[in-house]
Amino acid sequence: MFKKSSLLLLLTLGILTHLHSQEADKIWTIVIHGGAGGTPSNLTPERRGQYEKHLLEALEIGTKVLSKGGNSLDAVQKVVIYMENSPLFNAGRGAVKNIDGIHELDAAIMDGSNLKAGAVAGLRDIKNPIMAARLVMDSTAHVLLIGEGASAFAKSMGLESVDNSYFSTKQREEQLNRIKESKETPHPGGTVGCVALDIYGNLSAATSTGGMSGKKWGRVGDVPVIGAGTYANNKTAAVSGTGHGELWIRRVVAYDISALMEYRGLSLIEASNEVIFNKISPMGGSGGGIIAVDAKGNIAMVFNTSMMHRAWATSSGEIGVGILKGEESIIKKSSL
């Protein structure tokens, strides 16, 4: 199933995580996603190899931060920057186009230690939207900036700007053509996200997306809506979603998982299953999923689609990558 390079990376990651677990008893956990949805029959061995490679490279960036005692906020941001720069995912370069053929990007980041959050929506020319979201959190009195204002702010803070065509790939061009010819309906897919617990017990979440392919001009999805596609609270969990954003907004998915844990005492996995299968699934739509980690390092990767690109690593040496449903099961670290 794995290419040689993926196996090597997996091995390096394994050594890294194992060494760390011998050195300290503090735990850390990281989970990433590269979007839910897609058709399993289109997953050629070559494509699978590419996804696994990029997911594991992204994971390694976060693993390095956390295993050296770095904080979860930096880990999730660095991972998402890597994924935004990868043309494979629907975020940054590789993002989908709206119906007018323009890329409009959304991103959010949240610090579970203080409930601070930053988000941007409808960015057209900032290379790494997640960096803009972090700056909104760190350097303004606001949570969400949109469109031209968000772009002007990001540039004033020194972020790299690019022409809108920088985000384009042949694959997304063809996808938009199929939608325009009514051969395909607008659907989610390829959004990226990362959640992490660091050795200080802090939880963070970051998500970045080009949104839904063929979306209307100005459409904003769940990703930059704090509590919908992105949420983190040290008391409960860090959550990053991917899927049909309108449903995620209406169901306040990420916050609902946190609230079910906080107010109803559900475990991370119980809360995640409840929201995805009992609340989202009955609504129809294109579906999707979430990745989440709680304050004890438990992981949830729950989705109602047939695929969700995902990978994870923990300080105890567990690492993994999966794309299809059932390729790995949810891990519970009950001894922690």
Q: Which residues would be at the binding site for ligand ASP (CB under 6 A)?
A: 35, 90, 188-191, 209, 211-212, 221-223, 229, 242-243, 245, 288
> 197 or 307, CB closer to ligand ASP?
307
| Catalytic residue chosen out of the listed positions 17, 63, 191, 207 | 191
Phi/psi-derived region of residue 9, left when phi > 0, alpha when psi is between -120 and 50, beta in every other case: alpha
Q: How far is CA 131 from CA 82, 98, 107, in A?
A: 11, 22, 9
Min dist. Cβ of residue 242 to ligand ASP (A): 3
Angle at 214 (CA atoms; ends 220, 110), nearest 5 degrees: 30
Rounded Cα–Cα distance for residues 31 and 336 (Å): 17
> 63 or 272, CB closer to ligand ASP?
272
Min dist. Cβ of residue 224 to ligand ASP (A): 9
Min dist. Cβ of residue 17 to ligand ASP (A): 28
Min dist. Cβ of residue 212 to ligand ASP (A): 5
Q: Where are the alpha helices (DSSP H) in the chain?
A: 4-23, 45-67, 72-85, 129-139, 147-156, 170-180, 245-250, 253-264, 268-273
Listing DSSP states for 49-115 in one string gives: HHHHHHHHHHHHHHHHHHHTT--HHHHHHHHHHHHHHSTTSSSSTT----TTS---EEEEEEETTTT
Min dist. Cβ of residue 189 to ligand ASP (A): 5
> 151 or 240, CB closer to ligand ASP?
240
Rounded Cα–Cα distance for residues 207 and 23 (Å): 31
> 113 or 209, CB closer to ligand ASP?
209
- The tokens for 26 are 């503090």
191 is known as an active-site residue:
yes
Min dist. Cβ of residue 33 to ligand ASP (A): 9
Residues 6+ apart with CB under 8 A from 291: 31, 32, 33, 193, 194, 195, 239, 240, 299, 300, 301, 310, 312
> 197 or 212, CB closer to ligand ASP?
212
> 209 or 298, CB closer to ligand ASP?
209
Q: Which residues are known catalytic residues?
A: 191
